């Protein structure tokens, strides 16, 4: 019997490490029970997760496990009375989160031990590499071309084209680079693969390196991912020992080394040329293009860059064939895509679906709808570089062309769901705060333009918006998009433009009525007391930190809005719902 504890970052944060150590201590003398770890299966909303496989291989998944459950779990394992754990078992409704997905790049995450190459090999690991080494590099590129695989890092550029361009470029040596600098707020797709299935990344990179003629590959991963780096280092060591990495791989003429570079967490280093600058030891700032990295990249040599998810798809495509991948998805966007589903959603986590599913299918069928039965308002797609799609466009299919038409982008896969209590002006401000801070400062339009956008949004949210601000935001956004050097500045205005497009009435309410319809912008809130409901208990008066409430015992109280600092203390303590916030 096997017991497997989910030890991705989300599981560890929820307490999985303590559960594992306690189980290890209790079961140390039990030779009939094998204790293992795995990565994140994607159901972050159910962590910590403990999987039990009986002697026949049947799975019993325990969710939201607490430390106090450990002894009961261990006793049930030892006595083989697993029915005693039924109260901890995942429900059918919760299990739909996984059952309605189609997993390729995430197929092993939460299933295998990421620290065991043997587990990966048992799941057909490195068979794709063996097959690839028996083919001509150009044949591999043709398979990738047939698959329709496009870059999953955000731009959606055809993978085969980049590989072919690097292969045909003159100059040696050639370099292969993995972009694991996942910087979007709320995005954790790449991290899950790095932590849960690192060998899939290595195998995909080796196939790509063989295809373009590279003998040196690098993984640029953000230093904020210590567990991912640790498991990558372990996987590289294991692959070298097994002959899948290093000199004369699998006794062929192909040799390749893979090394890791920990980045400092600059968002702009997600842009491929800024990433290359950082790899070379320089400040991460984008280069002018052309030349493109395929002609002049790392150390000015031909280089190819793809992200983690892109490489993780490659072994499956090589084994199953390009057509099998192409058969999934839409005419314009092939295969599957991983999304980090976050925000006001019942079931947050990682979702991998074929292109062509609708936003509503992901949010409601897989994600379980809006938290606490609230009203679906919109979804931010593509992170700070993306745009907000309103609820009325929930039937929009998920592919590059359809999402671009809404004013949003696919991006790397961030999907932040919002309900009726989300202020869209404040949401745009949040993302502009991020991009303005993360701008490398190389070009004026991005360096100064994003700050001006942010200042206007701050002024509107503080109740000082004025006539013409909306038009000024639109004009500035257009200039920034057209004048910025790289993708950061070119896409930074997207949250502003999309929220103005679909939620203009909220901007107008902020500016002309000095009112936040969602009740989120503190400066625009007004606190009053309903004289009918107020009993004169004086609790709000006693709790007010600035003495802004007046009234006698058993008489209706009033709030002096000149003194009120809008802290919300009166609203929180009132037991009669007499305090009204508008």
CA 196 to CA 41: how far, in whole Å? Answer: 8
pLDDT at residue 126 in the model: 98
Q: What is the DSSP letter of 365?
A: I
pTM: 0.93
Q: What is the mean pLDDT of residues 231-236?
A: 98
Looking at the DSSP bridge assignments, the partners of residue 150 are 158
Query: What stretches of 462-563 show up as alpha helix (H) in DSSP?
Result: 469-483, 487-491, 494-512, 539-543
Mean pLDDT of the chain: 95
58: CB partners within 8 A, 6+ apart: none
Looking at residue 542, its pLDDT comes to 95
Kindly list the structural domains of the chain, giving each domain's residue range(s) and its CATH number in brackets, ordered by start: 2-95 (3.40.30.10), 117-326 (3.40.50.11540), 336-419 (3.10.20.600), 424-512 (1.20.1440.230), 526-581 (3.30.70.20)
- Determine if the peptide bond prior to 571 is cis (ω within 30°): no
Split at pLDDT 50, 70, 90, the class of 574 is: very high
Question: Averaged over 126-151, what is the pLDDT?
Answer: 98
Q: Is the per-residue pLDDT at 264 higher than 80?
A: yes
From 424, 422, 419, select the one nearest 510 (Cα to Cα): 424
**Confidence class for position 374, pLDDT limits 50, 70, 90:** very high
Average pLDDT over residues 20-42: 93
Give 143's pLDDT tier (boundaries 50, 70, 90).
very high
| Phi, psi values for residue 352, rounded to 5° | -120, 120
Q: Residue 577: pLDDT band by 50, 70, 90 thresholds?
A: very high
């Amino acid at each position: 019997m096997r017991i497997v504890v989910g030890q991705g970052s989300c599981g560890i944060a929820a307490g999985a490490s303590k559960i594992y150590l306690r189980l290890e201590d209790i079961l140390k003398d039990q030779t009939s029970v094998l204790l293992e770890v795995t990565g994140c299966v994607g159901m972050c909303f159910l962590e910590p997760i403990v999987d039990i496989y009986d002697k026949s291989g049947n799975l019993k998944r325990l969710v939201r496990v607490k430390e106090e459950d450990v002894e009961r779990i261990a006793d049930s394992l030892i006595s083989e009375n697993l029915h005693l754990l039924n109260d901890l078992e995942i429900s059918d409704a919760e299990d739909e989160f996984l059952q309605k997905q189609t997993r390729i790049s995430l197929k092993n995450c939460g299933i295998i031990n990421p620290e065991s190459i043997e587990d990966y090999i048992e799941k057909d690991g490195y068979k794709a590499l063996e097959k690839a080494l028996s083919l001509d590099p150009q044949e591999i590129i043709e398979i990738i071309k047939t698959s329709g695989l496009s870059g999953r890092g955000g731009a959606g550029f055809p993978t085969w084209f980049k590989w072919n361009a690097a292969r045909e470029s003159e100059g040696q040596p050639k370099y292969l680079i993995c972009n694991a600098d996942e910087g979007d707020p709320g995005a954790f797709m790449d991290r899950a693969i790095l932590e849960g299935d690192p060998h899939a990344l290595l195998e995909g990179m080796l196939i790509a390196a063989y295809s373009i003629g590279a003998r040196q590959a690098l993984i640029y991963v953000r230093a904020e991912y210590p567990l991912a780096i640790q498991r990558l280092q372990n996987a590289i060591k294991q692959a070298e020992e097994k002959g899948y990495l290093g000199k004369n791989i699998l006794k062929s003429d192909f040799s390749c080394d893979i090394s890791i570079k920990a980045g400092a967490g600059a968002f702009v280093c997600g842009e491929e040329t800024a990433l290359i600058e950082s790899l070379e030891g320089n400040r991460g700032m984008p280069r002018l293009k052309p030349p493109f990295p395929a002609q002049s990249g790392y150390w000015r040599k031909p280089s190819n860059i793809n992200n983690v998810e892109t490489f993780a798809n490659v072994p499956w495509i090589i084994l199953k064939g390009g057509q099998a991948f192409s058969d999934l998805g839409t005419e314009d966007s092939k295969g599957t895509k991983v999304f980090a589903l976050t925000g006001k959603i019942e079931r947050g986590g990682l979702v991998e679906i074929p292109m062509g599913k609708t936003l509503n299918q992901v949010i409601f069928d897989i994600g379980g709808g809006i938290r606490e039965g609230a009203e679906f308002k919109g979804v931010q797609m593509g992170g700070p570089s993306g745009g907000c799609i309103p609820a009325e466009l929930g039937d929009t299919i998920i592919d590059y062309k359809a999402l671009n038409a809404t004013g949003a982008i696919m991006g790397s896969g961030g999907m932040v769901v919002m309900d009726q209590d989300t202020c869209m002006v404040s949401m745009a401000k949040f993302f502009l705060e991020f991009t303005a801070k993360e701008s490398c400062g190389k070009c004026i339009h991005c360096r100064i333009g994003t700050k001006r956008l942010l200042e206007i949004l701050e002024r509107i949210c503080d109740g000082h918006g004025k006539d013409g601000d909306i038009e000024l935001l639109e004009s500035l956004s257009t200039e920034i998009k057209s004048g910025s050097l790289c993708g950061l500045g070119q896409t930074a205005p997207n949250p502003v433009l999309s929220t103005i497009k679909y939620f203009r009435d909220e901007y107008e309410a902020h500016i002309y009525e000095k009112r936040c319809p969602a009740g989120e912008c503190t400066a625009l809130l007004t606190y009053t007391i309903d004289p009918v409901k107020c009993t004169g208990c004086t609790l709000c008066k006693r709790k007010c930190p600035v003495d802004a409430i007046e009234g006698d015992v058993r008489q209706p109280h009033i709030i002096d809005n000149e003194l009120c600092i809008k802290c919300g203390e009166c609203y929180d303590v009132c037991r009669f719902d007499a305090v009204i916030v508008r």
